[in-house]
Homo-oligomer: A and B are copies of this chain.
Amino acid sequence: MDNSNFVTINEEGPREGFQIESASIPTSDKIALIDALSLTGLREIQTVSFVSPKRVPSMADAEDVVAGLTPREGVAFTGLYLNEQGLRRAIATGRLHIEGGISLCASPAFLQRNQNATPEQQRSSRRQMISAFQEAGIDITYGSVSAAFGCNFQGDIPLDHLLSTVADIFAIAEEFGLHLKSLGFSDTMAWATPLQIKRTIGAVRECYPDIEISLHLHDTRGMAIANAYAGLEMGVRTFDASVGGLGGCPFAAHKGAAGNLCTEDFVLLCEEMGFETGIDLERLIETARMAERIVGHPLPGAVMRGGSLASLRKAKLAA
């Protein structure tokens, strides 16, 4: 358990957001947003996903986006890939920070629907990915579980099933003599509630007391910020988030607005509660407004409209 005062936020807005937005957003706008994000104090930014341009036309310019980014000291640009082909594309850019992981889906029904695979087939493809990472000299550092808290197609994911999925990850790691540093849980279809977050993290810590835990939270049912708070209370110090609340999973049968945990709302929560994030909230709010201009429709973030408390305190002092 990490009781430190520092909360690490992995910005996923560009990847999460542009993935489900119109394919007509200019590459230069994507680059401008990522460059602006890299000046806010964020240390890790997921920029693109290397998926089939046929399936996700809005990511067809992934290589061009990465090629156009301005490198920034202390900022790691990453990319998402779901298979060896995507991994090879990410490596080929020569500009991305790449860590390997072992990712399993906790929902057999979603796995079937989304990747046309059984859990056994997924485990087998993960073993192939590990070989691909090792051939490329990439460290394999993390495990992650998608649909960890429930699934629109499977229903609830019982805790013992989730724990067995986690056990599968560690079993695969052991086959290859790997030591995983962190374990991520993704609420892919927004089934989590704060109580479930607490129960799940409590149970995982009971089994794996030394692993660092991270959370990836969607806001489809308005619970993301409460779930993040529950995670903080349980000692989680690493979170994915999206500027402006950009995003959603295009394959998860979300009805209507989905969106992720909103980065600037979460930064306000953290900073007001005494955690450090290293992020300049005012600058991040400006960047959220820029994201809104780029996508051309309102984003769900609240603080970008309501303003930070720090700015109100400062205005009061100046008055």
**Complex alpha-carbon distance, A219 and B302, angstroms:** 8
Shortest distance in angstroms between A268's beta carbon and chain B's nearest beta carbon?
Answer: 6
Question: Do B229 and A262 touch across chains, with their CB atoms under 8 A apart?
Answer: no
**8 Å CB contact of A256 from B156, B268, B305:** B305
**Complex alpha-carbon distance, A150 and B223, angstroms:** 24
Choose the segment among A25-33, A82-90, A186-194 that binds chain B (4+ C-beta atoms closer than 8 Å). A186-194
**8 Å CB contact of A229 from B190, B229, B300, B303:** B229
- A92 interfacial by beta-carbon distance below 8 Å: no
- A274 interfacial by beta-carbon distance below 8 Å: yes
Question: Do B306 and A221 touch across chains, with their CB atoms under 8 A apart?
Answer: yes
Interface residues of A in 222-242 (CB under 8 A from B): 222-223, 225-226, 228-230
Interface residues of A in 273-314 (CB under 8 A from B): 273-274, 300-303, 305-309, 312-313
Shortest distance in angstroms between A167's beta carbon and chain B's nearest beta carbon?
Answer: 25
Question: Do B302 and A220 touch across chains, with their CB atoms under 8 A apart?
Answer: yes
Question: Do A273 and B313 touch across chains, with their CB atoms under 8 A apart?
Answer: no
- A155 interfacial by beta-carbon distance below 8 Å: yes
**Complex alpha-carbon distance, A10 and B309, angstroms:** 28
Total chain A interface residues with beta-carbon distance under 8 A: 46
Q: Looking at chain A's contact residues, is the secondary structure mostly helix, strand, loop, or mixed? A: loop
Q: How many copies does the complex hold?
A: 2
Annotate A207-229 by CB proximity to B: 1 below 8 A, 0 otherwise. Answer: 00000000000011111011011
When distances are taken between beta carbons in the complex, the residues of chain B under 8 Å from A301 are 222
> Which of chain B's residues has its CB closest to A253's CB?
B312
When distances are taken between beta carbons in the complex, the residues of chain B under 8 Å from A219 are 302
- A81 interfacial by beta-carbon distance below 8 Å: no
Shortest distance in angstroms between A230's beta carbon and chain B's nearest beta carbon?
Answer: 7
12 CB contacts below 8 A, A to B, read A155-B313, A155-B316, A194-B273, A221-B268, A221-B308, A222-B225, A223-B302, A226-B226, A226-B228, A226-B229, A229-B229, A254-B306
Q: A156-B313, A256-B305, A257-B305 are in contact. List 18 more A-B contacts (CB 8 A).
A: A153-B316, A154-B316, A155-B312, A194-B229, A194-B269, A219-B302, A220-B306, A221-B302, A221-B306, A221-B307, A222-B225, A222-B265, A222-B301, A225-B226, A226-B269, A256-B306, A258-B306, A300-B300
Closest 3 CB pairs of A and B: A222-B302, A256-B305, A220-B306
